[in-house]
Amino acid sequence: MNAVALDIQKIRQDFPILHQEVHGYPLVYLDSAATSQKPKSVIEALSRYYLETNANVHRGIHTLSELATSQFEATRSHVAHFIGGVANEEVIYTRGTTESINLVAQAWGDLNIQTGDRIVITEMEHHANFVPWLRLAKRKNAEIVYIPITGDGLLDLAEAEKLITPNTKLVAFTHMSNVLGTINPVGALTELAHKQGALVMVDGAQSVPHLQVDVHELDVDFYAFSAHKMLGPTGVGILYGKQQHLEAMEPYQTGGEMIHMVSFTDVSWADLPWKFEAGTPNIGDVVAFKSALDYLDEISMESIRQHEIEITQYAMDSLKATGVITIYGPEDVSLRGGAVSFVVDGVHSHDLSTILDTQGVAIRAGHHCAQPLHSRLGVNSTSRASFYIYNTLDEVDRLVDAILQARRYFVRG
Ligand code: 7TS
């Protein structure tokens, strides 16, 4: 499908939350990298589920349970199609990206990482794709090394090639940085990893909402993302894993739903994907997630990416034109997504976000769960504006005006 310009005003009509005032100003929501807003269709699907079909899945033989199960599994098929046409068995429901990565770190890591093995991650990881590997390395007495970033916020591929050694068992990295916006070359890194016999875990929390992702084409072993950053409800995540890896792994949690047979002395596991889905899952939110995927399909990922490029370019140009703002991450918008982190000369990022909030502009301030990256950048914190399908260029103007006003307040004369 070709990219068609998004009709932003029409899209905004689907997001009731955006039509409100905050501190007397029309809300400008620029924090979609933290969580996106939800269209009416998703909210209605959630309420319809509880009004009409709520029941537990995979157990009852009554009508509501069958309906709930078929809706729950329909979302799985849609996800499988959405990420490139994988098998349903390869799509595991979790609570979010964080849980998806922890699942791999425990269920795969425990079996496959030994003393002296190497785990390669990068300097730009979110803590969700950092702490589980650091912990695994410490637990197993393995070595963890970091692919460095270049001055313009890209991964240093020459260094990556040197770091991915024959004793490397896993290479884990983000597809799109939540701080720098950088889109990493998944294919090239995966090739380097596979050449050494290492598996690849990709954190897709920021990329799946913004890019067309085909995990087959990328040839990655594991890929994780969250529904709530892509118009869906909170509390639902996806772990994609190649079937042969998932088959070889032990369960992550045990209990109901994930067993084939239990006796007083023994237990056997359910088939994929249920082997990794112990307990009653988040049925209502999974069901509503399908409406989010329908919405994204309807407007198309190509058009979403085109809008992201346009608004990110406009924002970077406008922020730069102030002459008082340092932006982190690649300058070339074709290499980055719509999370733009920056520091305003003379204004602390927390003060900035507090002042912006008084003008109805919602941004994020802090280390964005990427403390090692911030220390690498030599700053304690940054401010971050992040854009999605409902943001307009006018809202970027509101952001820049509000920043300049805040600066006049803090930096007098
Ligand atoms: N990985 C990346 C790259 C992320 O941006 C986030 C969340 C996660 C993992 C964790 O996702 P979760 O759904 O399990 O929480 N990022 C952010 C953020 O940038 N601001 O708030 C959450």
Report the alpha-carbon distance of residue 108 to residue 241 in Å, rounded: 11
CA dihedral sign of residues 333, 339, 341, 347: positive
Question: Is the distance from the beta carbon of residue 174 to the nearest atom of ligand 1 less than 6 Å?
Answer: yes
Q: Are the beta carbons of 215 and 100 closer than 8 angstroms? A: no
Largest Cα separation within the chain, whole Å, is 78
Distance CA 149, CA 182 (A): 10
Calpha distance 358→239 (Å, rounded): 39
Q: What is the CATH number of domain 43-297?
A: 3.40.640.10
Reported confidence tier of residue 3, pLDDT bands at 50, 70, 90: confident
Q: Which two tokens stand for residue 174?
A: 């983000």
- Answer whether 188's CB lies under 8 Å from 157's CB: yes
Statement: residue 97 has pLDDT above 60: yes
- 343-365 tens-digit pLDDT: 999 999 999 999 999 999 999 99
Confidence category of residue 59, pLDDT binned at 50, 70, 90: confident
369 is catalytic: yes
Ligand 1 mean position to 33 CA, how many Å?
A: 7
DSSP for 307-340, please give it: HHHHHHHHHHHHHHHTSSEEE-S-S-GGGB-SEE
Q: How far is the CA of 173 from the centre of ligand 1 (A)?
A: 13
Contact 119, 141 (CB under 8 A): no
- Tokens representing 40 are 């009416």
CB of residue 227 inside a 6 A radius of ligand 1: no
pLDDT in tens, 60-76: 789 999 999 999 999 99
CA of 250 to the centre of ligand 1 (A): 26
Q: Which of 33-47, 250-264, 319-333 has the lowest mean pLDDT?
A: 250-264
Strand order in the sheet with 382-386: 325-327, 339-344, 382-386, 364-366
Q: Which of 369, 371, 392, 397 is catalytic?
A: 369
Q: What is the pLDDT of residues 158-207, one digit of tens each?
A: 999 999 999 999 999 999 999 999 999 999 999 999 999 999 999 999 99
State the DSSP H helix or E strand holding residue 201, giving kind and residue range, or none if neither. Answer: strand 199-203
Asked whether the bond before 166 is cis by omega within 30 degrees of 0, the reply is no
SS (H, E, C) 130-165: CHHHHHHHHHHCCEEEEECECCCCCECHHHHHHHCC
pLDDT score recorded for residue 1: 56
CATH 3.40.50.280 matches 8-30+300-410? no
pLDDT digits (tens, 9 = 90+) for 292-322: 999 999 999 999 999 999 999 999 999 999 9
Report the residue count for the chain: 413
Q: Does ligand 1 have an atom closer than 6 angstroms to the CB of 175?
A: no
Q: Cα(205) to centroid of ligand 1, in Å?
A: 6
- Asked whether the predicted pLDDT for residue 2 surpasses 80, the reply is no
pLDDT of residue 51: 98
Strand partners, 224: 203, 239
Tokens of 188: 């090239």
pLDDT tens, position by position, 233-247: 999 999 999 999 999
Query: If you average pLDDT over every residue of the chain, what do you get?
Result: 97
Q: How much distance in Å is there from the Cα of 409 to the middle of ligand 1?
A: 32
- Going by C-alpha positions, the residue among 293, 299, 312 that lies closest to residue 230 is 293
Q: Do domains 8-30+300-410 and 43-297 have the same CATH topology?
A: no
Nearest CA to ligand 1 atom 17: 34
Residue 229 alpha carbon, nearest atom of ligand 1 = 13
Q: From the CB of 36, is ligand 1 less than 6 Å away?
A: no
Report the C-alpha dihedral over residues 42, 82, 90, 228, rounded to 10 degrees.
Answer: -30
- The pick from 126, 173, 374 for probing ligand 1's pocket by mutation, whose C-beta has the most ligand atoms within 8 angstroms, reads 126
Calculate what percentage of the chain has a pLDDT beyond 70. Answer: 99
Instruction: Identify whether the C-beta of residue 371 lies closer than 8 Å to the C-beta of residue 127.
Output: yes
Which pair of tokens denotes residue 344?
């305003």
Amino acid at 212: Q
Q: Which atom of ligand 1 is nearest to the CA of 100?
A: 14
Find out whether the beta carbon of 119 lies less than 6 Å from any atom of ligand 1: no
Is the CB of 33 inside a 6 Å radius of any atom of ligand 1? yes
Query: Is the beta carbon of 206 within 6 A of some atom in ligand 1?
Result: yes
CA of 4 to the centre of ligand 1 (A): 28
Beta-carbon contacts of residue 114 (< 8 Å; ≥ 6 apart): 140, 142
Domain ranges for the chain, please list them. Answer: 8-30+300-410, 43-297
10 Å CB burial of residue 266 (0-12, 13-18, 19+) is exposed
